Chains A and B, each alone.
Chain A
Amino acid sequence: MTWEIVIGLEVHTQLSTHSKIFSGASTAFGAEPNTQACAVDLALPGVLPVLNKGAVERAIKFGLATGSAIAPRSVFARKNYFYPDLPKGYQISQFDLPVVGNGQLTIHVPASGKTEAHEKVVRITRAHLEEDAGKSLHEDFHGMTGIDLNRAGTPLLEIVSEPDIRNAAEAVAYAKALHTLVRWIGICDGNMQEGSFRCDANVSVHKPGTPFGTRREIKNLNSFRFLEQAINYEAHWQIETLENGGTIQQATVLFDPDKGETRMMRTKEEAHDYRYFPDPDLLPLEISPQWIEEVRTTLPELPQAKQARYVNELGLSAYDAGILTASREMADFFEATQRVVPKDAKLCANWLIGEVSAQLNRDGLEMAQCPITAQQLGGMLKRIADSTISNAGAKDVFRTMWAEGGDADAIIEAKGLKQVSDAGALEKIVDEIIAANPAQVAEYRGGKEKVFGFFVGLAMKASKGKANPAQMNEILKRKLAG
C-alpha cells in the first residue's frame, strides 16, 4: 500500500490596520528602525494594551467570508517565551477561546501529472488574533544582535486548517485561495516579500486506514514555490526514513531554499513550554450580533459567488471566470468594462485575459497600475461590437491608448481606422479589381478557389485596410461568382 501525505497549514496574515493591535504606533512598512515602536511595544513598565477595533473587524470579516463561527466572547492569552525581539517576555495571542472557529474554504487544484483538476473543501479549525514580534538582525554588530521593534505589536490573524490537505499541489492551492481571499476582503495586503503572508506547514505520512503519523512542522515559508518544494522534500524524507526502518520525531524544521531541503530547528524535547494563561491586562472580547451584521454589510461579493454569476448570467466559461476573479482588481476592472458594453461580456473577458494581461506582463505592471481605464477599454470594445473598427484596427487603437492615453473614438478618428462598411464603396473597389485581373478571375471561376485570398489581399489593400472584412468577403464572393 502506498503512503498518504497529510498536511495542515497555519497561515499568519498581517492585518492591514493603520495602527498596532494594542498600541497607537504606526504599522507602515519600511520605516527607520524603532521609529514606530512606542512605550507599549517596548514593554516599558506601567504600560497597558488597548485592543484595536480595526483588527477585530478584520477578523470578523474573515470569519464571515469563510462561513466560520464568530465567537461572541473570546479571550486573549499570554504565550510565554524569551527572545530579545519580544520585549514583554510573552506574546499576546489567543489560546482556548479564539475569535474565529470552524469554517471552510473551497479550493481549485489545477491538474498535475496523473491527477485531474478538481475542487476540494478544506476545513478551517480556527483563526485567532495575536501580535507580531520585532526583528533580530544578526550581522555587523561586533558580536551583538541588533533589534528593530517596528514590527512588534503588528496585528496578525493566524489561520489554522484541519489536516485535510493531501499533497503539495493542494497545499499551494489552499494557500493561494487564502491569499486571494484576504486581499479580496481587504484585511491583508498579501505582500509576501514584506512578510505580510507567511505559512507554516505541518507534514506527516501514514498508510491509509492507519492513524496519522508523527508530524514535523516546517516554519516560515514565504513563497508558494518554497511551500511546494518544502512539502515535497519533507514528505519524501519522511517516507524514506520510515521505509528504511527509522521513526519520525516530532520536530520543528526550517526550509533552506538554496539547498532545497528541510533541516531540524528543535525537537519536541527542546520545544518551548509556552505556559499559556489568560492575560489579566485584557478583558474578554465581546462581539455582538449587531456588530457582526454591520461588518457583513461591508463585505464585497466573494470570488466564488462572482465566478458562479459570470458563468450563469454572463455565459462565460469556468476557466475565464476563474481568471477574472483571481484578484479583486481584475474582477472590478472586468465589471466596470462590461458596464460600458453590457451585451458583450465575452468580448470584455477575451480582451482582459488576452491583450490587457499580456501588455501588463510585458510592462511588469499590476492590474491596479493599468495605464488605461475600464471606461477607455469599454469605449473601444463598443466600437468593435458595432463594427466601426476591425480587430486589427482595435489592436492599433489599444496600443495607442496604452502608450498615449485618449479615448477610442478620438483615436479612431485621428488614425482614420473607421471600417468602410458602405456597400457602394466596397462594390466599386471589387468591380475595379475584377476588371483589372481577368486571368485570376478566370482561374477562380475555373475552380481554383485558392485564388480567393489573392482578391481579398488586393481588396484590403485598395481600401487601405479599412474594409469591413466580413462584408468585403461577401461582396467578393458574390461578384466573383459572376
Chain B
Amino acid sequence: MSLTLEDVKKVARLARLAMTEQEAQAAHAQLANIFGLIEEMQAVDTSGIAPMSHAQDVTQRLREDKVTEGNQREKFQAIAPQVQAGLYLVPQVIE
C-alpha cells in the first residue's frame, strides 16, 4: 500500500486541516513511515485469528436507563463564544 501526496491532501481536507505544500510533504513523509510499519505487520500470518476491535479484551458495561443529568445550560453557555435565546451561535451553515 502506498500513500500519495494527494491522499494526504484529501485526508487533511476531510479533517478540515489547512496545510501548506511544505507541511503536506512533511506529513506525507511521516505517514509513509507509519504505512511502512503497517506493511510489516500485515506480513504476519493472522489467518484463524479474529480481528480485534478493541485493545482490551473486556466488554461494554451498561448503565440503567435513568436521567441523571440536570439542566446546566447557564454554566455551559458561560464559556461559549456566542449564545442567543438559549442557542449556541455559530457561523452560518447552509447545506
Contacts and interface: CB of A to CB of B under 8 A. Distances in A.
A230 to B, nearest CB: 18
B67 A53 contact: no
A148 B11 CA distance: 29
B81 to A, nearest CB: 11
A44 B61 CA distance: 22
A23 interface: yes
B60 A26 contact: no
Chain A interface main SS type: loop
Given A17-B65, A19-B67, A283 B86 contact: no
Given A19-B67, A24-B69, A55-B65, A285 B87 contact: no
Given A56-B62, A283-B56, A144 B90 contact: yes
B93 interface: yes
Interface in A23-43: 23-26, 32-39, 42
Interface in B39-66: 53-56, 58-66
A148 B87 CA distance: 6
B2 interface: no
A328 B56 CA distance: 44
A32 B65 contact: no
B76 to A, nearest CB: 6
Nearest to A135: B87
Contact-size category for A: 35 or more
B9 to A, nearest CB: 13
Contacts, number: 126
Interface residues of B, number: 37
B60 A285 contact: yes
Contact of B58 (A26, A145, A283): A283
Contact of A146 (B63, B73, B85): B85
A18 B90 contact: no
Given A24-B68, A37-B76, A53-B65, A282 B60 contact: yes
A344 B78 CA distance: 66
Interface in A259-273: 265, 273
Given A283-B54, A284-B53, A286-B59, A18 B87 contact: no
B95 A145 contact: no
A131 to B, nearest CB: 15
B45 to A, nearest CB: 22
Contact of A141 (B59, B76, B89): B89
B77 interface: yes
Contacts of B22: none
Interface in A274-319: 275, 278, 280, 282-286
A462 interface: no
The 6 A-B pairs of least Cβ separation, nearest first, read A54-B65, A24-B68, A146-B87, A33-B86, A38-B69, A53-B62
Given A34-B88, A141-B89, 7 more contacts: A32-B86, A34-B87, A52-B63, A146-B87, A149-B88, A283-B61, A285-B59
Interface of B: 10, 14, 16, 53-56, 58-69, 71-73, 76-77, 82, 84-95
27 contacts: A17-B65, A18-B67, A19-B67, A25-B69, A32-B86, A34-B86, A36-B69, A38-B72, A39-B72, A50-B61, A50-B62, A52-B65, A138-B92, A138-B94, A141-B87, A144-B82, A145-B93, A146-B87, A146-B88, A148-B86, A149-B88, A273-B10, A280-B54, A280-B55, A283-B58, A283-B59, A285-B59
